[in-house]
Amino acid sequence: MIQRIQSIYLILAAAVSAGLLFLIPVFSTAEGEPVYATGRIELLAMFLGSALLSFITIFLFKNRKLQFVLGRLNIILNFILLGVLVYQSQILSGGAAAPEKGIGMLIPIISIVFIALANKAIKRDEDLVKSVDRLR
């Protein structure tokens, strides 16, 4: 059921995680040159893993509980990714000495928001099904 709102949220989360990492620099070095996530294998793997998990979650619409759990795992993965990005930017650029961290640091936060909205819609669907089962 691709027409559900949680599917749209998950598609947007996958697009943000997979698409924007090629276009937006994550942070800049002390010399001012941009660093993209594609240059670091661990960042690329986590971004693509998050996008793949969002994409897989879309097609599990018949198992809403598993869909909800995978959404939570994806949120945890994005928080870990955000932590790695903050750590890498502090190590690479010398911390507060470099003023530009890059807008790419917001990609996991945007993805977390979309996945949380999808989980809210999945929970609403699950509650609706439970209420209908209660009436039978």
Domain layout of the chain by residue ranges:
5-135
Could you give the 3-state DSSP secondary structure of residue 122? Answer: helix
User: Considering the entire predicted model, what is its pTM?
Assistant: 0.85
Beta-bridge partner residues of 27: 35
What pLDDT, in 10s, does the model give residues 77-94? Answer: 999 999 988 887 777 545
DSSP state of 37: G
pLDDT tens digits for range 20-43: 878 888 777 667 777 778 877 888
Give the C-alpha separation, 98 to 78, whole Å: 24
